[in-house]
Structure 1
């Protein structure tokens, strides 16, 4: 299980999220019918449209300066072994529904990690998820460099994963929440007040959650710790 938090796959999270939303629509642009599109989702809906994501995130920036981060990108990527296991349990369509449910619970853990009394679950966050079916060969992949694969070509095997855009501000647009804040206070109480985020604990919680939710028997060498 690989869970990572970045500023943005497009390299900029200090302005509008529109470029990132457009980038994450890349698979839908290859579909002939809109009925085949993978829709955006969160804990309330599975049919969110791209412009609703952009407007929601871009309007949730009260008291943030031009050089402040406005949103973050969370990548939830099960291993090929984990994906193969899920397909054996739930089938090709069922795996998508279950991964989305898993993502909602991961966002619960994201909220709890801030250790703020009024930030307790995904419902206290403004976030939108997008399931992607493929990964693509890029400039830095050795297969592209040696000519055995073309730039943009699908990578082999099970590559299903979820990308989540989460606002820097909470759902009320009042509280700043940054996973980049890893500074420790003078004591436990002071650290809570600062809103310290423990990235390692967050990643570990995702692995534990996956195993408990799906009954996955993880080998010792496959454990994060």
Structure 2
């Protein structure tokens, strides 16, 4: 499970409307008949129109400055392995989001009328999407880059030859391009993977538009707060503030595992990915200590051959850690990790 939390951002100031983002989330619907379009949902409702989403979010911005976000964007990105476990069932995924939002609310160090924040206080709208395209941060694009760059240069040379600006054989240049496309390490249906191509397999994920203000339009709830938990004096009274992202990401995994009986592999866990970033030796040692079947699965999940794990501590370990860290970082940036 990979979750992102991003503030609304357009240049140096924030747009006064969520309309552009809602329009962006309608991209898959543009290819579908109205009877088959995916509408928004909330904690309690289904079949919510884009117009209603814009109206509700735009109206819930009392006392916010132009330098403050009106809403936050959350993406809930199950891995392909997680999606397979739930049968890629959109209803199960929506139910998961609704229970997850209870955890989201509990991770705020805020109170409303002397009580903790609850899911019913959060104004949000969710939208399921079923497809993803390859981006520059994906492992496949990254490793195909040397071939793509060379092909781009050759195509530029072909144009110059065609215009008479360069002497050469267009046929020979085209032959070289075909050879590079064959040699590229990552292909899909026989074609070299390039940016913009649709990813194969289950890619279902959820976009959430979450209002900065609570449903009463009186309390500011920022998951982007740099504080996990603190207190500040405002207008003569003590106000709690903060949001615990670590706790939220951890609870998101625990919620999925408990709700669907999912057995999470070591490399899928948020805590192990944190170890990879901050304590790679610990990450590596725990990976080596896994039972053979679990370690084999771990290497399949991060798409590295088992021989990248040398059995004894030596110089190879540093290389293995570097490769593992690079693989995980690229996967996490892609938003789909590819389990």
Q: Give TM-score, length-normalised by structure 1.
A: 0.87
CA RMSD of aligned residues (A): 2.5
Deviations 1:25-70 (A, max 9, x none): 1000011x21101110011211000011111111100000111111
Question: Could you say which residue in structure 1 is the equivalent of 2:25?
Answer: 24
Q: Secondary structure at the match of 2:111?
A: coil
Q: How many angstroms apart in 2 are the aligned matches of 1:155 and 1:139?
A: 13
Instruction: Indicate the structure (1 or 2) with the bigger Cα radius of gyration.
Output: 2
| Equivalences for residues 70-85 of structure 1 within 5 A | 70-85=70-85
Q: How many angstroms apart in 1 are the aligned matches of 2:195 and 2:249?
A: 30
Deviations 1:104-129 (A, max 9, x none): 11111111111323353321111000
Question: Could you say which residue in structure 2 is the equivalent of 1:68?
Answer: 68
Distance 1:129 1:152, change over 3 A: same
Following TM superposition, by how much is the alpha carbon of 1:204 offset from its aligned partner in structure 2, in angstroms? 0.8
**1:127 equivalenced with 2:124 (yes/no):** yes
**1:111 equivalenced with 2:105 (yes/no):** yes
Runs of at least 5 residues in structure 1 that lack an aligned partner in the other structure? none
Q: Is the 8 A contact 2:228 2:244 kept in 1?
A: no
Q: How many angstroms apart in 2 are the aligned matches of 1:158 and 1:5?
A: 22
| Equivalences for residues 1-225 of structure 1 within 5 A | 1-8=1-8, 14-15=14-15, 16-31=17-32, 33-87=33-87, 95-118=89-112, 119-138=116-135, 141=138, 142=141, 146=148, 148-183=192-227, 193-225=239-271
Following TM superposition, by how much is the alpha carbon of 1:183 offset from its aligned partner in structure 2, in angstroms? 2.5
**Between 208-217 and 193-202, the greater mean CA deviation after superposition:** 193-202
Following TM superposition, by how much is the alpha carbon of 1:222 offset from its aligned partner in structure 2, in angstroms? 2.0
Distance 1:2 1:61, change over 3 A: same
Q: Secondary structure at the match of 1:135?
A: coil
Deviations 1:161-184 (A, max 9, x none): 000000000000000011111236
Following TM superposition, by how much is the alpha carbon of 1:211 offset from its aligned partner in structure 2, in angstroms? 0.3
Following TM superposition, by how much is the alpha carbon of 1:151 offset from its aligned partner in structure 2, in angstroms? 4.4
Distance 1:12 1:5, change over 3 A: farther
Runs of at least 5 residues in structure 2 that lack an aligned partner in the other structure? 152-191, 272-339
Q: Secondary structure at the match of 1:74?
A: strand
The number of aligned residues is: 216
